[in-house]
Structure 1
Amino acid sequence: MTGATNATAEPASVLGALALELAPGTAPRQAALAQAPAAALAQSIAVDLATLAPEASALDLVLGAAHFDPAELLRPGWPLHRRLEELRERAPRADEPRIIVFGANANGTVPQPMRAELELHGGPLRVLPFALIGDADVARAVAARFEDTLLERGMASAATALQAQDEFGARIEHARYLTAHDLAAMIAMQYDHVGLKRLWPSIETALLAPQREAWLDASPEPLLRYADGRVRMAKFDFEAWRRFDAIESARVAAGEAVDDDARRRYTYFQARQRQYRVVLEAHGIEVESIECGAKQDPRERLC
């Protein structure tokens, strides 16, 4: 993926997010902003982005004035950003660059797809998607500037951070701008810290190279294969797992009897599979469980 997308000659898009790091144990009171406060916040964001890359002022800014879990942005095909592009196409045309905002409607309802999934609420990081769209050469220049600078110097202005805090009813410790690449890199590091490092390459492949395949084949972790837009995960009964697991397969070969440690490790393995499924599905990746018997080759079963 590049910072600027350009499916045809023009226009091109720079995909990004305003990331809000919340104070521990807090959550925003508002899921999305109504039109007036959303427009005011978008204006402040436009000023910030033009300060970081002056060429950004020559592009349309399209903002989703609702906050999401990062996994909702990091999904194959970038559906939230694509929706912003589609909504821009429906907006009235203008001779000058536009600021286009989508949030809650007049009665306070958040329309799909700008409605965050309730199951993914509660995390310490919430993100507002935005896209800068316009001339392809300008978009590429802005994308290059952002990729070089946002991760280190992309803090939102104090005025913008306070505005977001007041309007969303949130206690925000930090507010910063990220490219889609930056957000992916940040989440990859977070997954590393919580023991999900081995799963990230499958998610990354789905995001950045969905036509390729990716394997997770590293016992004692679950066995899975990403291909054709979905993950196929091997499902083992206890005896099949004993032949797959590196430690247990050696014990089977040595003729050792099953003990309580083996059963505890199998229970942990099953919990790990459930955890992987939850994470993958949060990223919009379909997971299919494939039954693998003790006398079957699980890798062949996943192909």
Structure 2
Amino acid sequence: MTSDASHRQAPPAPLHVLGALALELRGDAAVARHALSQAQVGPLADLIARDLAGFAPQAAALELVVVGAHYDPVEVLRPGWPLHHELDQLAVRAPGRREAEGRIVAFGAHEDRLPGTLSPSPDFAGGPLRLVPFLLGGDPDIAARVGDAFETSLLERGMAGADTALAAQEAFGLQVEHARYLTVHDLAAMMAMQYEHAGLAPLWPILETALLQPDGEEWLDTPPEPLIHYADGEARIAMFSPPAWHARYAPEAPCDSDDCRAQLNRRYQHFEARLRQIAAVLGAHGVPVTFVHCEDGEQARDQL
């Protein structure tokens, strides 16, 4: 005979709501601290919990996990959401019952070191928008409702409380112009607009696929942009020799003057600079990049 216990289903895995407290900084004001001590992060986490419950009261029934540090958007917007994943993994080992309703777990620095891989990268310090990531998890039904509420409301009415903004300003030693809450999807939408203004709109479909469908596939195949194929979790970028580039991007009649050849050379150098720029942006977002040397400009797509 089989016992009833063998027919019991395992409880569903907690569903998580991923977001951040976004701090828009004033001008070139100095930033005193990028990470808070354990004693400093607790009061800020309490204020964040209160604010989030104000947007969706059921958020108070979920576990809130916060890190006392601020990051550049490129450190948050990465495939697999590694910062939020690290918060979740660290919360598993935190003291207390994880299923306790309304538990708040806040991670601060000990002797200037944050746990795990939470330390912000100095390579991305100094930007005008800094993010304090948070994670809400627990009962899947409640988390789903809270997540839906946040996705439909935070972008429009997600301003942080005045005391929360002041607490973040004083704790980190920076100057806050605006403080608001965003989901990671809100943040991605904002980044898409920023990249459009920066002339990087053609790259966004690659980044969006890497973020939201990391197992998916996407192409950038719109000359004069570099040729990129995202698949299997990496971006493969075609690198062309001058003749191969000429065949793909400038197939007009061969030049017969020094001026024409100089103009083509400048276009090729511009293409190489654009390729380096795009590769750097992908790398900043944690998307692995592989360069593929293509000697045949017309058949390059087949090589990617």
The TM-score bracket by the shorter chain reads over 0.9
> Is 1:209 aligned to residue 208 of structure 2?
no
- 5+ unaligned residues in a row in structure 1: which ranges? 1-7
Shift, 1:294, TM fit? 3.9
Number of equivalenced pairs: 289
Residue type at the aligned position of 2:109: A
Secondary structure in structure 2 of the residue aligned to 1:281? helix
Q: Distance in 2 between matches of 1:274 and 1:26?
A: 30
Q: Distance in 2 between matches of 1:144 and 1:231?
A: 31
Q: Distance in 2 between matches of 1:212 and 1:295?
A: 25
Q: Distance in 2 between matches of 1:282 and 1:262?
A: 30
Q: Distance in 1 between matches of 2:302 and 2:206?
A: 18
**Structure-1 residue corresponding to 2:7:** none
Whether the 8 Å CA contact 2:240–2:297 is kept in 1: the answer is no
Q: Which moved more, 1:183-192 or 1:22-31?
A: 22-31
Q: TM-score, normalised by structure 1?
A: 0.92
Q: Distance in 1 between matches of 2:125 and 2:108?
A: 17
Q: Distance in 2 between matches of 1:74 and 1:270?
A: 26
Q: Distance in 1 between matches of 2:188 and 2:94?
A: 29
Q: Aligned in 2, Cα 1:127/1:295: closer, same or farther, shift over 3 Å?
A: closer
> Is 1:98 aligned to residue 103 of structure 2?
yes
Q: TM-score, normalised by structure 2?
A: 0.92
> Is 1:269 aligned to residue 271 of structure 2?
yes
Whether the 8 Å CA contact 1:156–1:177 is kept in 2: the answer is yes
Q: Deviations for 1:141-195, whole angstroms, at most 9, x for unmatched residues?
A: 1001101100010010110001100110111111110001101111111101100
- 5+ unaligned residues in a row in structure 2: which ranges? 1-10
Residue type at the aligned position of 2:59: A
Q: Percent identity?
A: 51
Larger radius of gyration, structure 1 or 2? 2
Whether the 8 Å CA contact 1:13–1:139 is kept in 2: the answer is yes
Q: Distance in 1 between matches of 2:34 and 2:224?
A: 40
1:1-303 pair list within 5 angstroms: 9-94=12-97, 95-105=100-110, 107-245=111-249, 248-249=250-251, 251=252, 254-257=253-256, 258-294=260-296, 297-302=299-304
Q: Which moved more, 1:286-295 or 1:233-242?
A: 286-295
Whether the 8 Å CA contact 1:103–1:114 is kept in 2: the answer is no
Residue type at the aligned position of 1:57: A
Q: Distance in 1 between matches of 2:214 and 2:224?
A: 26
Q: Aligned in 2, Cα 1:27/1:192: closer, same or farther, shift over 3 Å?
A: farther
Shift, 1:108, TM fit? 2.2
Q: Distance in 1 between matches of 2:241 and 2:127?
A: 34
RMSD of the TM alignment (CA)?
1.3
Shift, 1:296, TM fit? 6.0
